[in-house]
Chain A
Amino acid sequence: ETGVTQSPTHLIKTRGQQVTLRCSSQSGHNTVSWYQQALGQGPQFIFQYYREEENGRGNFPPRFSGLQFPNYSSELNVNALELDDSALYLCASSRGQRPGNEQFFGPGTRLTVL
Chain B
Amino acid sequence: GESVGLHLPTLSVQEGDNSIINCAYSNSASDFFIWYKQESGKGPQFIIDIRSNMDKRQGQRVTVLLNKTVKHLSLQIAATQPGDSAVYFCAENREPGSNTGKLIFGQGTTLQVKP
Give the interface SS of chain A, mostly helix, strand, loop or mixed: loop
A90 CB within 8 Å of chain B: yes
Give the interface SS of chain B, mostly helix, strand, loop or mixed: loop
Find the B residue at minimum CB distance from A55. B100
A59 touches B1 (CB 8 A): yes
- What class of interface size applies to chain A in its complex with B? 20 to 34
Known: A90-B44, A104-B46. Contact between A43 and B105, CB under 8 A? yes
A 98-114 to B, binary, CB cutoff 8 A, 1 in contact else 0: 11111111111000000
Known: A59-B1, A100-B32. Contact between A105 and B102, CB under 8 A? no
Find the B residue at minimum CB distance from A94. B101
Interface residues of A (CB under 8 A from B): 2, 4, 31, 33, 35, 40-45, 48, 55-56, 58-59, 90, 92, 94, 96-108
15 further interface pairs, Cβ-Cβ under 8 Å (given A44-B1, A106-B43):
A2-B43, A33-B103, A40-B107, A41-B107, A42-B91, A42-B107, A43-B105, A55-B99, A56-B98, A58-B1, A58-B2, A58-B102, A90-B43, A100-B49, A103-B103
